[in-house]
Structure 1
Amino acid sequence: MTPPRTASALRYAYGTNGLADLRLEDALGLLADLGYAGVGLTLDHMHLDPLAPRLPARTAEVGRALARHGLTATVETGARYVLDARRKHHPTLLDPDAEARTARTDLLLKAVRVAADLGAHAVHCFSGPLPTGTAPDTGWTRLADGIGTVLDAAGAAGVPVAVEPEPGHLLADLTGFHRLRTALGSPELLGVTLDIGHCQCLEPRPPADCVREAAPWLRHVQIEDMRRGDHTHLPFGDGEIDFPPVLAALREADYDGLVTVELPRDSHAGPSRAADSLAFLTAAEAEAAPPARQGTLPQEEIPC
């Protein structure tokens, strides 16, 4: 039997890219036992390999495992070498080679189908860096074309697509997200994956303000600690972020998706990081909660 979840207004998840040394079934069992509400499922060779045979059947097995453990999911597509064994995160939707762009698009289309089959609340994706020698306008056109194709499939499946602003990428910040959204005609299913650490790293506003700005388009949230100007995902407490205001802003926005811990470099300590992260976040959320209102006595019981 799955234990009761930790009392919280927000729904916390942990990314499987930070549990790469665990079998997926073991990772899901761990997260359920710790009290997580969900999992950020990265499609990769060690868990749900999007390029291996029998993807629909294997997806169904994962769906049954999620149900057994009482977990929900978001589908992540940030596996480092799933498409190219020698180049990290390649190819991208910006690649000069049309066939390479198609390979990334096909991965995202598979992710949409997996998300639909799992009942996941969003599919995450990113732009990639602008290739050397490529004009920015050309990069934005390629990105819009690729995301547009994915949105067509997402619309048929009813799955939101959440683009993540990523430091060093063409779409690096919230301004970039709005540029893409506007270019595509502000489609309802296109939202943003807001990574709280990335806000600390490069956005001009504090992370809590970024949450408020992005609130209408929030489809997924990733969270970890980080320092200004340093794109290193850190365990909570090792960076500079003040988390209670961030969590308060998410609650004020009535965000009901997953808040997924993103520690991809910490798989060597995955189980302990997952435990410590949930304890930190629930304590920070309790600190962020407004004080309970004092009860009002009925009129006839008000003392003289």
Structure 2
Amino acid sequence: MKLGYQTNTWGGVVGHPGGVTSVKDAYYKANGSTEEALRDIASAGYQGVELFDGNVMEYEDKPEELKNLLKSLNLQLVGVYTGANFIYPDILEDEFAKIEKVARFSASLGAEHLVYGGGAVPARALTDEDFRRLADALKRGDEVAKKYNLTASYHPHLGTCVETPEQLDKIMSMTQIALCPDTAHIEAGGGDPVAVIQKYVDRIQYVHFKDWGNGTFQPLGEGHQDFKAMLAALQAANYDGWITIELDSYSNPLKGAEISKQYLKEQLGLG
């Protein structure tokens, strides 16, 4: 298995302000220096990196700059994370205009994975129609990814309409898209990440490891998640893809990456 790291620890997660009034510009962003993040991730010993769509699109007019930086650091762009509301028909075309642009550009940079988060949490109660619309949108998102030779995965996430185990089972039963389990978000939503991986291992093409303890996200080994059991479930299914480590915030981003890397090596025998 190959190990990557998300850049979201550097500066924290924000949204592009243009997305407030123009849905086509509603990107995720890590609010720090992408170059600093990549250099730290490489120095910590990771092989790959995942970026938010907004951080990738910062290089839309200067792709060679990002390609050369990745090459100089011996890093691969593993995946790009994007998302949308998905359940509102009136804005869906603008959301997919953004997604198509992101997919095309990410593929040109050598990315392998396109990760989807989303499904809005409306002010009213969620309905079966919301899940049907999300399922239809994820089918379309899968097709967009395949068009550019990317592997699409759905990522359950707090703050979306797929937080709980029941919601995850519902959307998985309505779709064929691959699952990207984010182990901490699954637990924070009331689920068991080991059980989720075991249940859906045949649909897992990409994995996010993130620890969880005391109600917060933690570097690997500093929470209480059973990564050994998760890894055993993946290995039993002959999974040999990427595992990307995430940590939404940490006072010293490089140190957080190093703590997780040491855990991966010493406790899991990876890297």
Cα distance in 2 for residues equivalent to 1:64 and 1:180: 39
Query: 2:180 aligned to 177, 193, 205, which one?
Result: 193
Q: Secondary structure at the match of 1:239?
A: coil
- Other-structure match for 2:82: 77
- Other-structure match for 1:247: 231
Cα distance in 2 for residues equivalent to 1:177 and 1:199: 9
Residues 51-108 of structure 1: CA deviation (Å, up to 9, x unaligned): x6x71x4334323322332222211126xxxxxxxxxxxx61124x612x33433332
- Other-structure match for 2:205: 219
Once the 2 structures are TM-superposed, how far is the Cα of residue 117 of structure 1 from its aligned partner?
Answer: 1.3
Segments of structure 2 that go 5 or more residues without pairing to the other structure are 12-30
Cα distance in 2 for residues equivalent to 1:135 and 1:172: 12
Cα distance in 1 for residues equivalent to 2:165 and 2:110: 27
TM-score, L = length of structure 1: 0.72
Once the 2 structures are TM-superposed, how far is the Cα of residue 177 of structure 1 from its aligned partner?
Answer: 4.5
Query: 1:65 aligned to 60, 69, 73, which one?
Result: 69
Quick one: structure 1 residues 255 and 115, their matched pair in 2 at CA, closer, same or farther if it must change by over 3 Å?
farther
Query: 2:90 aligned to 88, 98, 110, which one?
Result: 98
Query: 1:37 aligned to 43, 47, 60, which one?
Result: 47
- Other-structure match for 2:194: 208
User: Are the counterparts in 2 of residues 74 and 124 from structure 1 also a CA contact under 8 Å?
Assistant: yes
Once the 2 structures are TM-superposed, how far is the Cα of residue 18 of structure 1 from its aligned partner?
Answer: 1.0
Once the 2 structures are TM-superposed, how far is the Cα of residue 173 of structure 1 from its aligned partner?
Answer: 4.8
User: Are the counterparts in 2 of residues 76 and 123 from structure 1 also a CA contact under 8 Å?
Assistant: yes
TM-score, L = length of structure 2: 0.80
Query: Which residue identity lines up with residue 73 of structure 2 in the other structure?
Result: H
Q: Aligned-pair RMSD on alpha carbons?
A: 2.7
Cα distance in 1 for residues equivalent to 2:102 and 2:241: 18
Quick one: structure 1 residues 107 and 173, their matched pair in 2 at CA, closer, same or farther if it must change by over 3 Å?
farther
Q: Secondary structure at the match of 1:194?
A: coil
Once the 2 structures are TM-superposed, how far is the Cα of residue 39 of structure 1 from its aligned partner?
Answer: 0.7
Cα distance in 2 for residues equivalent to 1:210 and 1:217: 11
User: Are the counterparts in 2 of residues 74 and 258 from structure 1 also a CA contact under 8 Å?
Assistant: no
Once the 2 structures are TM-superposed, how far is the Cα of residue 259 of structure 1 from its aligned partner?
Answer: 1.4
Segments of structure 1 that go 5 or more residues without pairing to the other structure are 1-9, 79-90, 289-304
Once the 2 structures are TM-superposed, how far is the Cα of residue 163 of structure 1 from its aligned partner?
Answer: 0.5
Quick one: structure 1 residues 243 and 145, their matched pair in 2 at CA, closer, same or farther if it must change by over 3 Å?
closer
- Other-structure match for 1:144: 135
Quick one: structure 1 residues 122 and 211, their matched pair in 2 at CA, closer, same or farther if it must change by over 3 Å?
same
Q: Secondary structure at the match of 2:134?
A: helix
Query: 1:285 aligned to 261, 265, 268, which one?
Result: 268
Cα distance in 1 for residues equivalent to 2:204 and 2:148: 19
Residues 5-42 of structure 1: CA deviation (Å, up to 9, x unaligned): xxxxx322111111236532332222222210111111
Once the 2 structures are TM-superposed, how far is the Cα of residue 213 of structure 1 from its aligned partner?
Answer: 1.8
Cα distance in 2 for residues equivalent to 1:175 and 1:217: 17
Q: Secondary structure at the match of 1:126?
A: strand
Query: Which residue identity lines up with residue 279 of structure 1 in the other structure?
Result: Q
Instruction: Tell me the matched-pair count.
Output: 250
Cα distance in 2 for residues equivalent to 1:285 and 1:151: 32
